[in-house]
Amino acid sequence: MAETVVSVRDVNIYQGSNLVLQDVNFNIARGEFVYLVGKTGTGKSSLLKTLYGELPLKEGVANVAGFDLKGMDWKKVPFLRRNLGVVFQDFQLLTDRNVHQNLRFVLKATGWTDEKLIEEKINDVLDKVGLKSKGFKMPFEMSGGEQQRVDIARALLNSPKLILADEPTGNLDPETSDEIMQLLFQICKDYGTAIVMATHDFIVINRYPSRMLKTERSRVLDSAVPV
């Protein structure tokens, strides 16, 4: 049986004192691809923020990549995030340095010190996303699709068990969106990384069907659970 990477039990999620989602229950296994969908304001972002430790978990039990989210103090959050990859819609690359330096910055910030291993890791992740020869390029010299691949490479640096992708195709044309979706599914298959992808893009979902979590009326509905 596949290892469980995310386990959420009887969880209530708050923004400040407002209850946003209640009685949330789901598991995500190693290598599983799951869409997170729902109208704006129904709690998608709050759920993602809870999973990567930005919103504290007040009620219920949740375990993400081996970390217990209940009562997690701020000192432990960086360790949780080293076991996660996060992919953003707007790339959030450092614009004053090239691709290689962007990736190096993340490795140094997460405690890597061996220069040989740093170089090997950067070459490895760039190879995985099909950008092996583009390490010298500045972000502004790259297309949107290439920048998104760099963002995915960055998310892979610490060999995460889970990648949280927030609207990764939101700013891309259909052809580039296809390339990014194929890459994400390949990562699931080849490396056993679980991926949760928040999206509004039902064209992408129809082309690449998979399990779906939907935020609606303060609940999370799971397509894997019969209604």
The confidence score (pLDDT) of residue 22 equals 96
Residue 154 near residue 122 (C-beta atoms within 8 A): no
Amino acid 142: pLDDT = 92
Could you write out the three-class secondary structure of 71-111? CCCCCCHHHHHHCEEEECCCCCCCCCCCHHHHHHHHHHHCC
**Closest to 162 (Cα-Cα) out of 19, 17, 6:** 6
Beta-ladder partners of 214: 37, 221
pLDDT at 195: 96
Where the chain has pLDDT below 70, the residues are 1, 91, 227
| pLDDT value for 1 | 66
Neighbours of 34 (CB within 10 A): 20
- CA dist 139 and 152 (Å) reads 14
Task: Report the pLDDT value the prediction gives residue 226, as an integer from 0 to 100.
Answer: 72
Question: What order of strands is seen across the sheet that includes strand 18-29?
Answer: 18-29, 4-15, 59-64, 67-68
